[in-house]
Amino acid sequence: MAFSKILHRIGLLACIMLMVSCFLPWMYYADPHIATEAQRTFTGFSTYQNQYGKPGKLLSTIAIIIFVFMLLPKIWAKRANLFIAALGVGYTIKTYVLFTSCYNAYCPEKKVGIFIMMISMIILLVAAVFPDLELEQEEKVVREL
């Protein structure tokens, strides 16, 4: 099996893992000002009083678009996929920095979801760089003068 086919399947699996990671716990803040234990654990869709937003919405949308474009055998889809994956990596880095930063002398405890999110997005970028696409060979017509 070719490298690009294996990477294509790993990329499809990484899309699913990115969507799953948005529902997993990302951070735990031991801030006593946060009322309950459940509100201290942040996910991609749930933060305390929505202060960090819901990055899981955008990341899930990016994962769905990349998944569809990976299945399309068109060159424009592969190019758009590379662009969207690069934007996704940038947004993932921004989200990681935002969620893992300390505030008011409280540093969060990193959970498994944020690491899965980072790894799966990097895998998606690598899979977008090496698409599984067979180009048609055009016959060269030699003109005799």
Does 97 or 4 have the greater pLDDT score? Answer: 97
**Residues ≥6 apart with Cβ < 8 Å to 101:** none
**Residues ≥6 apart with Cβ < 8 Å to 87:** 62
| Greatest pairwise CA separation for the chain in angstroms | 86
Residue 141, pLDDT > 60, answer no
- pLDDT, tens digit, for every residue of 88-131? 999 999 999 988 888 778 888 899 999 999 999 999 999 999 88
Give pLDDT, residue 135.
65
- pLDDT, tens digit, for every residue of 12-41? 999 999 999 999 998 988 777 777 777 778
Q: How far apart are CA 6 and CA 137, in angstroms?
A: 23
The pLDDT confidence band at residue 138, using thresholds 50, 70 and 90, is: low
The pLDDT confidence band at residue 5, using thresholds 50, 70 and 90, is: confident
Q: Label residue 90 exposed, middle or buried (CB < 10 Å: 0-12, 13-18, 19+).
A: exposed
Decide: 81 and 70 in contact? Cβ < 8 Å. Answer: yes
How many helices (H) and strands (E) are present in the chain, helices listed first? 5, 3
